[in-house]
Amino acid sequence: MQTSKKNNPQVPDIDEDRDMELENIVGNLMIAQYQVDKLRSRLSERVGGYGSASNKKGSAHIFKHNDKWYKVVVRVDEMAISQRDIAEEIK
């Protein structure tokens, strides 16, 4: 799809090609990054005790599928690490 800018004496009239699929992907990526940031913020507040009166730092979910039972447990711990610890972990 081609679009052209409005006639403006200061801006030349240039036709530009737009890739709508690429624009949608970039838009979805920006939305996803915003959601990740919000979820990280909510998680850190909850683990730190700011967002909840409860001090539970874990959750469990039990379900049955194809006649087998499964239990998924999620536990979140707050950690204090240095940049040096991160660098060593990457190696």
- pLDDT tens by residue, the chain, 91 residues: 444 455 566 766 677 788 899 999 999 999 999 999 999 998 888 777 655 556 667 789 999 999 999 999 988 877 777 777 777 777 6
Give yes or no for a contact between 27 and 18, defined as CB atoms under 8 angstroms apart: no
In a domain, 54, yes or no: yes
Q: In total, how many domains does the chain have? A: 1
**β-sheet bridge partners, residue 31:** none
pTM of the model: 0.49
In a domain, 27, yes or no: yes
**β-sheet bridge partners, residue 62:** 71
In a domain, 50, yes or no: yes
- Phi, psi (degrees; rounded to nearest 5) at 83: -60, -35
In a domain, 59, yes or no: yes
pLDDT at 2: 46
Domain hosting 48: range is 16-90
- Other residues' Cβ atoms within 10 Å of the Cβ of residue 8: 8
pLDDT at 23: 93
In a domain, 71, yes or no: yes
